[in-house]
Amino acid sequence: MRVTGNRMIDLATGATAAGQTRVASAAQEVTTGLRVTRPSDDPNAYVSAERAKLHKTLVEGSTRAVQTSHEHLAQVDGALATIGESLSQIRSLAIQGNSATYNASDRAQMAEQVRTLFTASLGAANIRSAEGEYLLAGSASLTEPFSTTGAYSGNASTRDVATSADTSVRATVSGSELTAASGGVDVLPLMSRVATALATNDTAALSTTLDELAKAVEQVGLARTRVGGSMKVLESTVTAHAELTESLTKTISNEIEVDSLAAASNLAKTSQALEVSRTVTSHLIALLKPS
Amino acid sequence: MSDLLSLLSLGSNAIQAQNSGLAIATNNVANVNTRGYSRQRVDLNALMGAPLVGGVVAGSPERLQDNLLAGRLRTAGGSLSMSTAFHEAVLDIETRVASAGPTVHEQLGELASRFTELTATPTDPFSRESTLLSARGLTQGIRRRAAELNAAQEEANARIRARAEQISELAARLGETNLAIQRSGDPTAHDERDRIAGQLTDLTGGTARIDGDGQMRFVLDGGAVLVDGNHAAALRSTTDATTGDQRLEVVAGAITRDVTANITSGSLGADLQVRDVVIAKARTDLDQLAFDISTSYNTAHRANAGLDGVSGRDMFTQPTQVAGAAKAMAVDPALDADPSLLATAPAGGAVGDNAGAKALLAVSSAQVASGGRTLGGAALDMVSSIGVAASEAKHDVDRDMVLTENLSSLRDSLAGVDIQEELSNLARFEHATSAMTRFVSTVDNLLGDLIAKL
C-alpha cells in the first residue's frame, strides 16, 4: 500500500492528539480521584453508585431521627429518675410520718417536703424537648399533660420513628405509664394525697398510701425499664445504620472512585506513551522534510 | 534536411510533454495540503512513426481518483458527522439534566430524608420548614431542568435552521460545479465537486452518485433529489404551527416535499434525532415524573392533617395533565406560606401523631411512578437513559472514526500527494527536458552546418 508522507504525519499527529486526550483523562482521574463523574462515563456504575447514595441519604435522615428520639428518651429517663427518687423519698417520709414517734408539727414539716418533691416531679413529668414537645403527653404533644393536681390529660399513644421508608421502632413512652390507666396507680395525685395526709395529721389516710407508694416506685421503675429497652433498640439501630452507611460508602467508592495507585501508574504510562509519540512525530517531520 | 526538421519537431514536442509533467508535479506539490485534492499524473503517449518521426505527446492530465472509494468515504463521513454531532448534543443534554446542582433523584432522596426526620419531630417548626425547603428545592430543580430541556430544543431548532440554509447554498454550488465540469472537464472542478458532495453528505447523510453523463446527483435519504446536474433544489426550514419545531422541505420549483422524517444521518440528522427522540423523551419523562410526584404526594397529603387538624390539602399544585407538569411544578401556595399545614398527623388524630409524616415518607418507597417504579428510580432512570445514549454515541463516534481513518488511508494511498515522490518526478522531467534541449540544440547545429554548406 502506498503511504504518503502527509499521511504518515497525519497518523503521527493523530496518535499524539489521542495520547494527549488519554493523559488529560488520566490526570483528571488522579486529581479528582473519580473514575465516573457523569452518567455516560459508565452508566451501570453511575446507577449503582447513585442508588447507593440515595439509600445513604435515607439512612442518614433516619439516623438523625433515631438520634433525636434517643435524646428525647434520655430526657424522659431523666424525668422518670427524678419522679422515682421523689417517690422513694416521699415513701420514706410517709413511713416516718406513719410512726407514732412523730407529732403533728413534724408531719406538717414532712408535708412541706413532700409538696416540694411533688412540684419537682410535676415539672419532670411535664418535660419538653428542645423542639417544644411535651415528651410524656402521648400524641397530644403540644399540650401540657399533667395539671397542677397531677391529673393526666395526655393520651396513651406512643410514637414509632422511621428507620427506613418501610420500618420503624418505638421511640416514646406515654405519661399514661404514670397513671392507673396503665394498671398501676396515679403517681402524681398519690404524692399529693400523701402531702395532704401529712399536713392534716391523718395517719389513717397516710397508712393507706404506703402500699400504693411501693407500687408506684415499682411502676416508675418499670416505665424506666421500658425507656431503657427502647433506648437500647435505638442505639442498636444507630449502630446498624453506621455499618450500613459504611457499606454504602464502600459501594459508592468502588463504583465511581479510582484506585489511586492504579491511577498514578496509568498517568505515568500514558505520559510516557505521549512522549514517545511526540518524539516519533518530530523525527518523522524531520525525515520527510525535503532537502 | 526534411528528416532533421522532423527531428526538431520531435524534440520540441518532447520538451513540451516533459514540461507538462513538470507543471503537473509542481501543481501536485503546491496542493499537497489542499483538503480533498486528488493528485494528477501526466499522460505521456508515444507517437507513431519512430525513429524518424514519432516522439511523445502529453495528453490531458489524469486525476487519480476512485469514485466508489470516494462514495464510501463520503458515506462514512456522513455517519461520523452524525455520530459526532449526536454525541456532542447528548453530552450537552446530560450536562443540563445531570450536572450543575443536585439531580432530581438526589432531591427526592433529600425530601424523603426530611420526612424521616419529621417522624421523630412532627410538630417541630424547624423540621417542618426544612422539609418544605426540600420540597421547594425539588420543584425548582424540576422546573430548571424543564427550562434547560426547552432551551436545548430551541438550540437544536436553531441549528436545524442554520444547517438548512448551508445545505441550500452547497446544493446551489454543486449545481454550478456540475455545469463547470460539463463545460470544461477541469480536474480541479472535480475536486471541488467532491468536496461539496462531502460537505453535503456530512450535513445530510445523503448519497452522491456520478451518472454516465458525468454529472453528479445528490439524493437525500428517502429519495428526495437535492441536486440533479445543474438543477439544485433548496432545503427550506419552516416553523411547525403546532409544535413550534422546525420542519424541513425540499423545494424544487413549484414542488415541495416534507423530508423531516427522512433525514436520519449527517449532522442535520443528528439534530433532528436529538430534538425528536432524546429531548422529546427527556421532556416526556420529566413531565411524567413531575406529574407522578405531585399526584402521589398529594394523595398522601390530602388523607392527613396539618397542625390545625384540617385534612384534604395538596402538597404540590396538582397538575391537570402530564404535558407541561414539570414546567408548572410548585409547592401548594397555602402550604408554602405556612409550614404548619404540612400534613404530618392523621385526619382526626392528635398533632403529635406522626402517621401523616410516615405516610408521606412511604411515598418514596412506593411504586407510584409510571412503569411500576419508585419516584427516585424513575428520576434515576431518566438520567441514566441519557447517559446510556451518550455512552453509545461515543462508541459510534469511535467506530465511525476508525472506519473513516481506514477509508482515508485507502484514498490517500491512491489520490494523496507524496512530496518525495513528486520531487523525484520533478527531477525526472527536468532531466528529460535538459536532454531534449541538448538534442534539439544538436539537431539545430547540424541544420546550421548543412545550411552553411549549401
Indicate whether B131 and B41 sit together in one domain. no
Chain A interface test: which of B83, B88, B113 (most A C-beta within 10 Å): B113
- Quick one: pLDDT band at residue B65, thresholds 50, 70, 90? confident
Residue among B109, B384, B423 minimizing CB distance to A43: B384
Amino acid code (one letter) for A48: S
Cell of A67: 438520634
Mean pLDDT score of chain B: 92
> Which residue of chain A comes nearest to B110, CA vs CA?
A57
The verdict on ipTM greater than 0.95 is: no
Residue among B98, B126, B364 minimizing CB distance to A165: B364
Domain count, chain A: 2
DSSP-derived 3-state class of residue B279: helix
The C-alpha of A173 sits at a distance from chain B's nearest C-alpha, in angstroms, of 13
* The pLDDT of residue B402: 94
pLDDT tens profile B195-232: 999 999 999 999 998 888 889 999 999 899 999 999 99
Residue among B94, B354, B365 minimizing CB distance to A166: B365
Indicate whether A78 and A133 sit together in one domain. yes
State whether B380 and A54 contact (CB < 8 Å): yes
Q: Which of B26, B28, B13, B27 has its CA nearest to residue B59?
A: B13
Q: Which domain holds residue B171?
A: 68-89+160-265
Indicate whether B85 and B197 sit together in one domain. yes
Average pLDDT over residues B436-452: 90
- pLDDT surpasses 80 at A88: yes
Q: Which domain holds residue A282?
A: 5-33+259-288
Indicate whether A122 and A202 sit together in one domain. yes
Indicate whether B109 and B203 sit together in one domain. no
Cell of B151: 432551551
Q: Is the pTM of this model over 0.90?
A: no
- Quick one: pLDDT band at residue A122, thresholds 50, 70, 90? very high
The C-alpha of B328 sits at a distance from chain A's nearest C-alpha, in angstroms, of 26
- pLDDT surpasses 80 at A184: yes
Indicate whether B85 and B211 sit together in one domain. yes
Residue B369 lies in a domain: yes
CA distance A42 to A27: 18
Residue A67 lies in a domain: yes
Average pLDDT over residues A130-138: 94
Indicate whether B378 and B354 sit together in one domain. yes
Indicate whether B303 and B343 sit together in one domain. yes
CB atoms within 10 A of CB A284: 16
The percent of residues above 90 in pLDDT, for chain B, comes to 78
Q: What are phi and psi of A256, to 5 degrees?
A: -115, -15
Indicate whether B212 and B321 sit together in one domain. no
- Residue by residue, DSSP assigns chain A as ----HHHHHHHHHHHHHHHHHHHHHHHHHHHH-BS-SSGGG-HHHHHHHHHHHHHHHHHHHHHHHHHHHHHHHHHHHHHHHHHHHHHHHHHHHHHHHTSTTS-HHHHHHHHHHHHHHHHHHHHHHT-B-TTS-BTTSTT-TTS--B-TT--B-S-S---EEESSSS-EEE----GGGGSGGGTS--HHHHHHHHHHHHHTT-HHHHHHHHHHHHHHHHHHHHHHHHHHHHHHHHHHHHHHHHHHHHHHHHHHHHHHBPPHHHHHHHHHHHHHHHHHHHHHHHHHHHHHS--
Dihedral of CA B54/B56/B58/B59: which sign? positive
Give the number of beta-carbon pairs within 8 Å between A and B.
183
pLDDT tens profile B395-419: 999 999 999 999 999 999 999 999 8
State whether B116 and A58 contact (CB < 8 Å): yes
The 3-state DSSP composition of chain B as helix, strand, coil percent (nearest 5) reads: 65, 10, 25
Cell of A93: 417520709
Indicate whether A270 and A148 sit together in one domain. no
CA distance A52 to A57: 9
Indicate whether B40 and B176 sit together in one domain. no
- Quick one: pLDDT band at residue B7, thresholds 50, 70, 90? confident
- pLDDT surpasses 70 at A291: no
Indicate whether B51 and B133 sit together in one domain. no
Using the 8-state DSSP alphabet, how is residue B273 labeled?
A: H
Which residues from A are below 8 Å from B413, CB to CB? 1-4, 7
Average pLDDT over residues A3-26: 91
CB atoms within 10 A of CB A15: 17
